[in-house]
Structure 1
């Protein structure tokens, strides 16, 4: 699988560890954003780049890391057709895919340590969306998003 990964300045070290780990798992990684903890990097721009890369099919899934993971999830979720969730445990990571078909997970470097983060990422990448009852629910989200874009916002 091709994975987009990015981080703000609060999470460069964790992003670097996760990048190596994802490659070791056999995936291709495309990195988005700068690679320096010395430069302040605003998380929305990184989140938008990864989300847009998913929409353009440049990558299949994304992993975003900031201080809490929350800002990245909010920003990525503003890109149409993207479902991004913050995961700090393996059960949430599994459900992100199996229940929600989330294309992006986000993690907080100030909340989760590198070893647990690796387990979370592994479970997320190993999980797939089975459809079933969850497909109906995800479709409801997609339909509402489309309605807002077309009718409410005139896009």
Structure 2
């Protein structure tokens, strides 16, 4: 489906049906984004929750679990979401394809209120990385 949309695909796995650990794949996608190799990512696990939690540990990653097209589109347009997380045991393939299309076709629209909110999120991340919230 992605190649049919003329989207360049970098597959970070998994490449087998064996049990695996979702944080490994969240890290693989996040590190490619941080390195500037990709602009957006799509992560899939059973519920979508685990990959979302893991991906959001990385600076600059704004991952969100979406099981509908509105959230996928709005997450990009208002919050500059850059990683879509999907639960494979929650939705079927056709719905997943629709959500992926909504995510990929959406563009961040920095209306003043959206830009101000995103700036607050980026500031929180900066302060966390600077150790402002470290235990003393």
Query: What is the TM-score when the length of structure 1 is the normalising length?
Result: 0.83
Tell me how far 1:48 sits from its aligned partner. Answer: 1.0
Choose which of 121, 128, 133 in structure 2 pairs with 1:148.
Answer: 128
Q: Does 1:24 align with 2:1?
A: no
Tell me how far 1:49 sits from its aligned partner. Answer: 1.1
Q: Which residue of the partner structure matches residue 23 of structure 2?
A: 44
Aligned-residue Cα RMSD (Å) equals 0.9
Number of aligned positions between the proteins: 132
Q: Distance in 1 between matches of 2:99 and 2:130?
A: 36
Structure 2 spans left out of the alignment, 5+ residues: none
Q: Which runs of 4+ in 1 moved over 4 A?
A: none
Tell me how far 1:95 sits from its aligned partner. Answer: 0.9
SS in 2 for 1:65: strand
Query: What is the TM-score when the length of structure 2 is the normalising length?
Result: 0.94
Q: Which residue of the partner structure matches residue 65 of structure 1?
A: 44
Tell me how far 1:124 sits from its aligned partner. Answer: 0.6
CA deviation vs aligned residue, 1:104-123 (integer Å, no higher than 9, x gap): 01000100100010000001
SS in 1 for 2:131: helix
CA deviation vs aligned residue, 1:45-96 (integer Å, no higher than 9, x gap): 1001101111111111000000000000000000011100000000001011
Structure 1 spans left out of the alignment, 5+ residues: 1-20
